[in-house]
Amino acid sequence: MLRIEVFSEDRNQLGEGPLWDVEEQRLYWIDSYAPAVYTCDAKGGDRKSWNLPEPVGSLALREKGGAIVSLRNGFHTLNFETGAVELLHETHPGELRPRLNDGKVDRQGRFVAGSMDFEERDPVGTLFRLDPDLSLHTLDTGIICSNGPCFSPDGKTLYFADSHMKAIYAYSYDTASGTVGSRRVFTSFDNLRGYPDGATVDAEGYVWSVEVYSGRLIRFDPNGVIDRIVGLPVQSTTSITFGGPDLDIAYVTSMARPFNNQYHREREAGCMFAVHGLGVRGLPEPRFKG
């Protein structure tokens, strides 16, 4: 039976990037505008947090410990022991409007993250790949608002949304090299109420996209056709990951910050939700190998 509960009552200004780590059995997420990284155990206890120096778009846990965080100006390391943040790559030197946003580790342990226009108007964003040797590579350009990168179970398809364009794209993805091939429109949100935001892929190869400003989870089959829609308690939902001991709980972030200068009506806006009883399981999220 479907059951939705508030998992974290903290009202994040822009909750994003939920990530379940199977090794630690812990949930990680970010508040982009706090800015900070948070973590807790499966019951919501043993909480820890790390403050960051500038807005954060996503994080990748490292096999060697700590994390890679995509901050406004580039990729950084985050030391969980000391809280130290160190720059690896400045991604848009001299440019004021692009900032790094959503990201995900591929099945081989590389970190793929995109940037977006801070004003969400012009195609100044880029899709990057950070390799385990810490070298940085460009996969695509001309993006307005990058969101929801995730990978098919075999790792050979990269799904990626440009929220401003109301579209999720699919790239062929070379698992050996991490290069992308042809890009196609996987599905369009033109006839839906909201915009594609964070996303993940379940064990059956179906794509779950969070429809922001509409408060819905939308599950698409591998052909981009809607399979099911799940309503959520707030409209300001942002991203999703599957977690829990059996990877069958959908954790969904949301935001409390105003939209178009209007505050959200729902008092739970900004909370983290746990969705039980969906009848599907997620896939373990890899750690960054660098």
pLDDT of residue 77: 98
pLDDT of residue 262: 62
Cα–Cα dist 154/43, whole Å: 31
Q: What is the mean pLDDT of each run of 10 residues along the chain (290 residues)?
A: 96 97 98 98 97 98 98 97 98 93 98 95 97 98 98 98 98 98 96 97 98 96 98 96 98 87 77 98 97
pLDDT of residue 246: 98
pLDDT of residue 18: 98
Contact 250, 278 (CB under 8 A): yes
Contact 138, 94 (CB under 8 A): no
pTM, full prediction: 0.97
pLDDT of residue 266: 80
Cβ atoms < 10 Å from Cβ of 276: 13
pLDDT of residue 86: 98
In DSSP terms, 99 is beta-bridged to 116
User: Catalytic: 102?
Assistant: no
pLDDT of residue 170: 98
Cα–Cα dist 184/193, whole Å: 22
In DSSP terms, 171 is beta-bridged to 158, 183
The full DSSP string for 244-269 is: STTS-EEEEEE--S-BTTB--S-TTT
Catalytic residue among 117, 197, 202, 248: 197
